[in-house]
Amino acid sequence: MAKSTKDIKALLAEMTLEEKVGQLVQLNTALLGKSTAEITGPAQKLGVDPAQLKYVGSTLNFHGVEEMIALQETHMAEDRLGIPICFMMDVIHGYRTIYPLPIALGASFDPDLVAKCTRMAAKEATAGGVQVNFTPMVDYVRDARWGRVMECCGEDPYLNSVMGAVQVKAFQGDDLSDPENMAACVKHFAAYGGAEAGRDYNTVEISERLLREYYFPAYKACVDAGVRMVMPSFNSLNGVPSIANKWLIEDVLKKEWGFDGVIISDYNAIGELLKHGITDDMKEAARLAFEAYCDIDMMSPGYCKFLGDLVREGKISEEALDRAVLKVLQLKKDLGLFEDPYRGATPEKEAAVCLTPEHRAIAREAAESSAVLLKNEGVLPFKKDVKRVALIGPFAATQAIKGFWACNGEDKDCISVEMGVKNLLPDAEVIAVEGCSAEWNELSREGFAAAVEAAKNADAVVLCLGEPQNYCGEGNSRADIRLPGVQEELASLVLAANKNTAVLLFNGRPLVLTEIDKIAPAILTMWFPGTEGGNAAARLLFGDANPSGKVSMSFPKAVGQCPIYYNHPNTGRPKRKAEEIHETYTSNYIGCGNLPLYSFGHGLSYSNFVYESLELDTDTMTDESTITVTIRVKNDSARKGREVIQLYMHDLYASTVRPIQSLIAFEKIELDAGETRDVTFTVTEPQLRFYDFNCNHISEAGEFTLSTGYADHLLHTKSFWLKK
């Protein structure tokens, strides 16, 4: 498709003040084209004058391509300058074909797979009329109580950075005007994932050094990848809400990182400045947000009602307004909207692209590659010649496994575990028994007897446990992250009845599985796997697929360990004795130990990978030189499999306390049965840098170590020296 030749500066010169303000307003499609009497519910509280609605520049939460076309047609017929509406949406992990949650994609440790899933989502969403996507979310997370851990890739800043940049490039492509590409929006800038006590929208108090070291890198990687839009976070950051935080937006995002794209508020974030107590006046809230470079006001009355007055009163210059409007017009021009306001989207195209066998195959591949085999004492894979399979638990037969915020995905399109096992084993008798509810307040045990009876008579038992899909996601924080309800009781009875049992988990966050781990011989987490989850689960359980995922966020032993993360610093009194032994006057817990139940980077396979050696080509490096690391890995089994080779670094002595380990590189490889391979990484001086007390990004001369294995369980370590 040809790029737009529209002269947006000439267009700007023709615009009235009201038309300019309109380009900076985003409202739900439910408000567009309505009279005052027709605007009801929460939208009514906005108090928007219907006369202003015809100028609105962008919209969100529309329902399919037909609504997009109808709204755009009406708008284009009435807009005197022919400026199209831009349609935006949250396409988090698929549009109609749903792939696993982002935290699961992080667990895949497979950037190529993430790119493939993202391109699939872009093709479906653009066919459905979406032009800008509020993705990726790259908030760094440490607390599994927070519901939105499902939307990010885990507790490591490097992994987050890699996956975020991959998604930006895959959504946007090389030419934004291509109708199968869409603009991406990185969120939530900044440190939304640092909410106190893991409670959504809660305050964040973090030092600048910690922000720069852990929380900023993934946002910066997305900016470097060319992301076209940034969304500031809801939370207050060190006392200032991000939407009005000039240091965050002006000093860091714009001046340091050079971002000159569109900045959009989160939903009513400008209005929430009043709730934060920053001001008691919506007009002042609009001024504060605009002066902090927010270009588009999403779903608050701030800009729509007051931005024009602020310009007329001289409190905001028209030059500043023009700069913001030009950025929005430039985005529309780059998307090709002036040539084709619909970007080729039609109902026929949407129907042809969505939920195709090809896309279902990608979703199944992603579900298989991101599942993590947490534990296996010889139970899995089950033999495929079994005569009777019992699927027990609240996730045995349900199709509600797509996960929270699955855009236009529908449960009815998902393959349940029961359906998947029946597809794989058409000659076996497959029995599904719910046993109990997955809800936290549903404590009925009436289904236990039937579950135990089914287990006794089965050749293989799958305990399908987890948390309901609406227990994670925005606003869904949990103080208790154990399995809800009476699922642990059900599991103990079923496992007592039949030892040939594996636990299959559905979850949007790491769960506390300490009691389950004590009794279950095998545990496989599917996260929320999406449309093809049941087929993927069956293939993994019965050996047609080999697990290769790794934990992307630590599973704590107890909720009291939260926040817990692998890349922590030592204290002045580190624990020295065995993990299970309490040690007085050192930093540890009574009765729990310090380590998580399953650490970052952990994940088993049906293959047996042996790490034979780690070698460095030199034990000294300088700012200009490099070190080549060679890790020799053997598949010492009769089964082909995939393994994630992880490289960790530790700076032993520095002017600020350093983490005991940091992931600096990884590669996912496939090894045939009996195959040995050397995997090499090149380590450079920038990978050794950190932020000193004054937030200078530096490296210091001294001793470092490089290790492989996974966090908390390193297998080979070698030292080297950085010379200055």
- Residues marked as catalytic: 266
| Dist CA 618 CA 68 (whole Å) | 60
Phi first, then psi: what are they for 431, rounded to 5°?
Answer: -115, 130
The burial of 174, by beta-carbon neighbours within 10 Å (0-12 exposed, 13-18 middle, 19 or more buried), is given as exposed
Q: What's the token pair of residue 597?
A: 């139940």
- Cα angle for residues 60, 65, 71 (degrees, 5° grid): 60
| Dist CA 560 CA 562 (whole Å) | 5
Q: What beta strand segments (E) does 274-422 contain?
A: 297-298, 372-376, 388-392
**Residue 443, CA distances (Å) to 455, 617, 626 in order:** 21, 60, 59
What secondary structure, in 3-state letters, does 516-580 show?
A: HHHHCCEEEECCCCCCCHHHHHHHHHCCCCCCCCCCCCCECCCHHHCCCCCCCECCCCCCCCCCC
**CA-based max dimension of the chain:** 80
Dihedral sign, Cα of residue 555, residue 556, residue 559, residue 562: negative
* End-to-end Cα separation, the chain, in angstroms: 53
Reply yes or no: is the peptide bond before residue 574 cis, omega within 30 of 0: no
DSSP 8-state code for residue 142:
-
DSSP 8-state code for residue 674:
T
Q: What's the token pair of residue 183?
A: 């603009």
DSSP 8-state code for residue 344:
T
| Dist CA 552 CA 149 (whole Å) | 10
DSSP 8-state code for residue 2:
P
Q: How many CB atoms lie within 10 A of CB 618?
A: 11
Strands 522-525 and 372-376: antiparallel
Closest CA to 544 of 685, 360, 695, 383: 383
